[in-house]
């Protein structure tokens, strides 16, 4: 009996020591090594390139799952900017986007300026897909729009073009250098993917303001932050290093990975 009691006392002492050890994990110890540009962080970010390459190698032209009408059980959840406060945008909106144009510029043979009617007149694709937000939620909705590949075919990309940069009308941030407009970029593989569309329709109706009217990108094999809303210009570039924070997008400049396939 005595031995058992000794062993139990030892056990309880040890158990409480172990439990207090668990509470000691003060994790601000790592904060200072994980800032943007820090060497350790850059090293860890290398894993995202690995993910990007592995997923490119394996997925190739695979299509994102598409769903049925019965799977649409709720309105599409809007996120980020849902009512742009910019004068330019409000003016365009007041005229129902009749004066809005999508500029296609940069490394293209034939720069374009497309009206909403012109986009409507092009072949359209409708797809019911699941929108996955980087925050963790998902929402299924039906999107209708012009395949980006058709627009790129019209504009004819120059050989040195590597990325498609989406420029937006909405101001998402204000800093010392003025208004920061949302922007983002994808590579030409995703840009030419059959499900990558410039969407003007949502759930059978014109795209509402909160979801990006008049036009937003759908890049179905990546997360929501890779699908900019309120599009005004598409620019083909060989590098986005000189743009914004140099990381290829508004959220990327704040530390999100450029490749949002995971």
Partner 1 sequence: MDAAVHDRSPQVEQAPSKGPLVYRQSRWTRLTHWIWAFTLFFMLLSGLQIFNARPQLYIGQESGFSYDNTVFQIGAMNTENGPRGFTRIFGHTFDTTGVLGWSGPPGQERARAFPSWATIPSYYDLGTARVVHFFFAWVLSATLLVWLVAGLLNGHIARDLWPRMKDFRRLPGDIAAHLRLKFHHAREYNALQKLAYGGVLFILLPLVIVTGLAMSPSVDSLLPWLNEVLGGRQTARTIHFTVMVLLVLFFIVHMLMILAAGPINELRSIVTGWYRTDPPGSDGERSP
Smallest gap from Cβ 111 to partner 1, in A, equals 31
Q: Which of 81, 92, 114, 139 touches partner 1 (CB under 8 A)?
A: 139
Closer residue to partner 1 in complex, CB, 90/254 = 254
**Among positions 51, 105, 118, 149, the unique one binding partner 1 when judged by CB under 8 A:** 51
We find the least distance from the C-beta atom of residue 152 to partner 1, in angstroms, to be 21
H-run or E-run covering 98: none
Beta strands in 36-154 (DSSP E): 102-106, 112-114, 125-132, 138-147
Counting contacts by CB under 8 A, is residue 7 touching partner 1?
A: yes
By the rule CB under 8 A, 63 interacts with partner 1: yes
φ, ψ dihedrals at 209, nearest 5°: -55, -45
Q: Report the chain's terminal Cα–Cα distance, integer Å.
A: 57
- Contact flag: residue 27 with partner 1 (CB under 8 A): yes
Interface of this chain with partner 1, residues 115 to 134, rule: CB under 8 A? 130, 132-134
Provide the b/e sequence for 168-179 (b: ≥16 CB within 10 Å): bbbbbeeeeeee
Please state the closest distance from residue 229 (CB atom) to partner 1, in A: 18
The secondary structure element, H or E, covering residue 121 is helix 116-121
Cα distances (angstroms) measured from residue 224 to each of 78, 170, 261:
11, 16, 10
Whole-number minimum distance, CB 191 to partner 1, in Å? 15
- Omega of the bond prior to 120 within 30 degrees of 0, cis? no
Tokens of 1: 């009996």
* C-alpha dihedral (48, 53, 57, 60), degrees to nearest 10: 80
Q: How far is the CB of 82 from partner 1 (least distance, A)?
A: 14
**Residue 9 lies near partner 1 (rule: CB under 8 A):** no
Between 198 and 237, how does the x/- string for binding to partner 1 read (CB under 8 A)? ----------------------xxxx--------------
For partner 1, which residue of 95, 96, 137, 246 counts as binding (CB under 8 A)? 137
Residue choice 91, 98, 156, 262 for contact with partner 1 (CB under 8 A): 262
Q: Is 17 in the site for partner 1 (CB under 8 A)?
A: yes
Q: Does 59 participate in binding partner 1 (rule CB under 8 A)?
A: yes
Beta carbons of 114 and 102 less than 8 angstroms apart:
yes
Choosing from 1, 50, 70, 87, the residue that interacts with partner 1 (CB under 8 A) is: 50
Burial 70-103 (b: 16+ CB within 10 A, else e): eebeeebeebbbeebebeebeebbeeebeebebe
**Contact set with partner 1 (CB under 8 A):** 3-4, 6-8, 10-11, 14-15, 17-18, 22, 25-28, 30-31, 34, 41, 44-48, 50-51, 55, 58-59, 62-65, 67, 71, 73-75, 77, 130, 132-140, 220-223, 251, 254-257, 261-262
């Amino acid at each position: 009996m005595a031995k058992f009691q000794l062993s139990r006392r030892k056990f309880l002492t040890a158990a409480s020591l172990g439990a207090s050890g668990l509470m000691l994990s003060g994790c601000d110890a790592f904060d200072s090594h994980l800032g943007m540009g820090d060497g350790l962080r850059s090293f860890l970010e290398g894993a995202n390139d690995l993910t990007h390459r592995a997923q490119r190698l394996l997925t190739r032209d695979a299509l994102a799952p598409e769903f049925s009408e019965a799977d649409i059980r709720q309105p599409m959840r809007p996120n980020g900017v849902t009512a742009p406060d910019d004068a330019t945008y409000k003016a365009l909106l007041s005229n129902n986007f009749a004066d809005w144009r999508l500029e296609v510029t940069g490394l293209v043979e034939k720069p374009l300026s497309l009206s909403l009617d012109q986009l409507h007149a092009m072949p359209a694709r409708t797809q019911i897909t699941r929108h996955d937000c980087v925050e963790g939620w998902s929402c299924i909705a039906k999107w209708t729009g012009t395949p980006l590949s058709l627009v790129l075919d019209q504009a004819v990309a120059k050989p040195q073009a590597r990325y498609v940069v989406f420029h937006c009308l909405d101001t998402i941030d204000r800093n010392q250098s003025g208004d920061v407009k949302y922007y983002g970029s994808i590579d030409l593989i995703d840009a030419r993917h059959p499900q990558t569309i410039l969407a003007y329709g949502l759930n059978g109706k014109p795209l509402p303001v909160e979801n990006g009217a008049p036009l937003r990108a759908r890049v179905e094999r990546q997360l929501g932050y890779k699908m900019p809303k309120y599009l005004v210009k598409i620019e083909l570039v060989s590098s986005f290093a000189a743009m914004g924070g140099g990381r290829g997008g508004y959220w990327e400049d704040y530390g999100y990975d450029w490749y949002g396939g995971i």
